[in-house]
Amino acid sequence: MRVGVVGLGTMGAGIAQLCVEAGIDTVGREVTADLGERARDRIVHFLTRKVEKGQIESFEVERLSLTVDLTDLAKCDLVIEAIVEELEPKRQLFTELERICRPDTVLATNTSALSVTEIAAAVSSPERVVGMHFFNPAPLMPLVEIVRAELTVDAAFDTAFSLAETLGKHPIRCHDTPGFVVNRVLIPLLNDCIRVLDEARVTVEDLDAGMKHGAGWPMGPCELVDLVGVDVHVHASEALYEKTRETRMAPPPRLVAMKNAGLLGRKSGRGFYTY
């Protein structure tokens, strides 16, 4: 099997790393050669550390080929899109992929909050489009949501599900509804937690301790939003609210203010906590 990954940012590089580790020939596409090389360096770094820790015996970095040209994905059996989380760029990419790839190539999107059906509507063969929602960080998080859009056929769905299993993941099946499974539950729950910060006049540390020691969470809600990225959480919340109009889906004002101030969490050095 040959897998293509379009976009080698945090998510795409993590997915490509999983493919290389599983011994799958992988084509990674970035918009510039420099971005592609940097992604490959990160992948080699993480896989080398796994070898040093005895978690894997070896890996073949030559399994990963880099390109800036989408046409190099022509021979792929499945292509995973992991570009910016905006509908139009994704739809434009899928239109290009349909022109380039074989008719039997499965086209998958790693979207976390957008409609797979709306992305699939950009191509004349929407039956081969499926969602493969990996969780961040992709190499560590075991779950992948395999999302069936309105017209997805069993063959495409089963191919995506099998790939997730081959990558050592725990895939679950779901249909294309806002937020799929985990985010539909988790995003409004995290929003509730952030609102409680102000309403209960509790400190960030005590809220996190409460959810860890009282509800058994492995990580407190503020820690988790800092890890995910305040901007990413706000974007996903807004997308869910737009689709459902449920008040709990809307990002709390506190999070919107943090995003606007550049307090994005771990990646900016400061969010609810300082890093």
Rounded distance between C-alpha atoms, residue 82 and residue 68, angstroms: 15
Asked if residues 175 and 150 have their Cβ atoms less than 8 Å apart, the reply is no
Separation of alpha carbons 162 and 158, rounded Å: 6
CB atoms inside a 10 Å sphere around CB 38 = 14
Compute the distance between CA of residue 204 and CA of residue 191 in angstroms, rounded to an integer.
Answer: 14
Catalytic residue among 21, 98, 145, 223: 145
Is 183 annotated as catalytic? yes
| 124/159 Cα distance (integer angstroms) | 20
Decide if 260 is catalytic.
Answer: no
Residue of 21, 30, 110, 133 marked active site: 133
The letter for the amino acid at 209 is A
CB 129 within 8 A of CB 107: yes
Q: Among residues 21, 81, 110, 112, which one is catalytic?
A: 112
145 carries an active-site annotation: yes
The question of whether 237 is a catalytic residue gets the answer no
Which member of 110, 183, 191, 237 is catalytic? 183
**Tokens matching residue 241:** 């609210």
- Enumerate the active-site residues: 112, 133, 145, 183
